[in-house]
Structure 1
Amino acid sequence: MRTSRRFRWLKAKLAGALVLLTLVAWGSWQEPSLHEFTPVTEFVTLTAPDLQPGAAAEQLQARALALPGVTACAVRPEKQLLTLAYRPAELSAGQLQQRLNLSALPQPELSAEAAARQCPVPPGYVQALERLRFAFNLRRLFVRL
């Protein structure tokens, strides 16, 4: 009776080790991409209808760059546009619009062909799988940036 418990416990340990070894092999199969080492960055273009060239444009750019999560800012005063690169983990696009008191540039609707070719798997699932693979990738420990 006691040996069968030990045997079951040993089989469970062996199965767990095999699963862990398989995950590490799967994660380390390919060399990690450099984009996996950096935080996610997104872009948004905002309209500034009253933007004038000169000091007002520079002031708006300085205000935008002072926000947490904003990594880059480009101002086009002649077209009255402000394009921002930001980290969505720190600040959302809606929060950017509220803090700068600007509205987003309207995006064109997707054509029927583009909408039909979308991946059926939600992007969050794909990103989670990529993060899991990166977590088990031992090659990332030897990459020098």
Structure 2
Amino acid sequence: MPRSGFSGSFRSPKIDVVIDMGNPFLNRTVDGFLKIGAVGACKVAAEETFECLHRGDVSKHKVEHALRKMCKEGAYWGTVAGVYVGMVYGVERVRGRSDWKNAMIGGALSGALISGASNSDRGKVVKDAITAGAVATAVEFINCIT
């Protein structure tokens, strides 16, 4: 019985924008803010485009609403990413080594900081810190595998 298959690899194009703020901490934080903020804005753009196509109507009001939502969501995602990247860099500098533990500690610190800024329930802040640390650690391990 004949068989066919596909073998190969796919790499996405890498886009790198370098903004020199004069400080490595600021450089990484701004880089994380811009890259992940753009992802958040693109997510909203895709959702709003789908909604307009699904409903079959586009108006000036809907476009303005979509742009405001893109900016808000992009700023939120970018801020979260900037805090995380800054925390990981700070932990790396304090510990003096670069390993998965930096991601775990940085994730937990940024999860606690962001959660603490948005609610006052200590139990929720601790849960969010543990979750963020676990997710950051998992991502670090997955990056090491590939």
TM-score, normalised to structure 2, is: 0.23
Higher relative contact order (CA 8 A, sep 6+): 1
Largest Rg, 1 or 2: 1
Give 1 or 2: higher strand fraction: 1
The structure with more helix, counted as a fraction of residues: 2
